[in-house]
Amino acid sequence: MAMSSSSGGGTVLSEINVTPLVDVMLVLLVIFMVTTPLIEQDDEKREVEMDLPVTRDNESRVNLEESEQIILEINQELQVLIGDSVLVDCGAALQESSPERFEPCFDELQAKIESNQKLQDDGRLYLLGHPDIPYGFVVGSMNRIRLAGVSNVGMVTNPEYRKAEPQ
């Protein structure tokens, strides 16, 4: 805000100095003018491929029985399975209250995944967790899967589980 006073008149003029505001607006205008053509030219680059989870409302359902992908399932009893074979059974850890209760299971899971040559070669895995299992168990499992060398982990939902949900 600039103030000026006339000498001897006794009046004070106060007015707002808008010069910095105009400078900022001009700089923003130049930035928008330069970047707008660049944004319009990158339509193809803005497309993102997504693997959405399979849900009741998702049209692109995947038949888990016919899928060739490796699906690691965690059932309600905290058994970690690939197909019909049980990798780790962590059901006994559910009864414990220690925060470290799942660590032995995670260690065993990591060792089993590290020793699975097909998983190591493919580097991809889909995780199907029952909705009633502890969230921390799923996150811990995902972390150990990543530490075991499988970096591409997708989440799969089972429409069978959703049907059991109350409406």
Is the pLDDT at 119 greater than 70? The verdict is: yes
Look at residue 102 in the predicted model and tell me its pLDDT: 86
| Residue with more model confidence, 162 or 52 | 52
* Alpha-carbon radius of gyration of the chain: 30
pLDDT band at 110 (very low <50, low <70, confident <90, very high): very high
CA gap 153, 144 in Å, rounded:
11
Alpha helices in the chain (DSSP H): 19-41, 103-115, 117-122, 135-147, 159-163
Residue 149 CA to its chain's centroid (Å): 19
Is the pLDDT at 37 greater than 90? The verdict is: no
Look at residue 19 in the predicted model and tell me its pLDDT: 92
Is the pLDDT at 5 greater than 70? The verdict is: no
| Residue with more model confidence, 131 or 74 | 74
Average pLDDT, the chain: 79
How many CA atoms does the CB half-sphere of 165 hold within 13 Å?
Answer: 12
**Which residue type does 20 have?**
P
Tokens of 100: 């470290």
Is the pLDDT at 86 greater than 80? The verdict is: yes
pLDDT per position as a tens digit, 38-60: 766 666 666 667 666 656 666 55
- Percent with pLDDT over 90 in the chain: 20
The residue ranges of every structural domain in the chain are 70-163
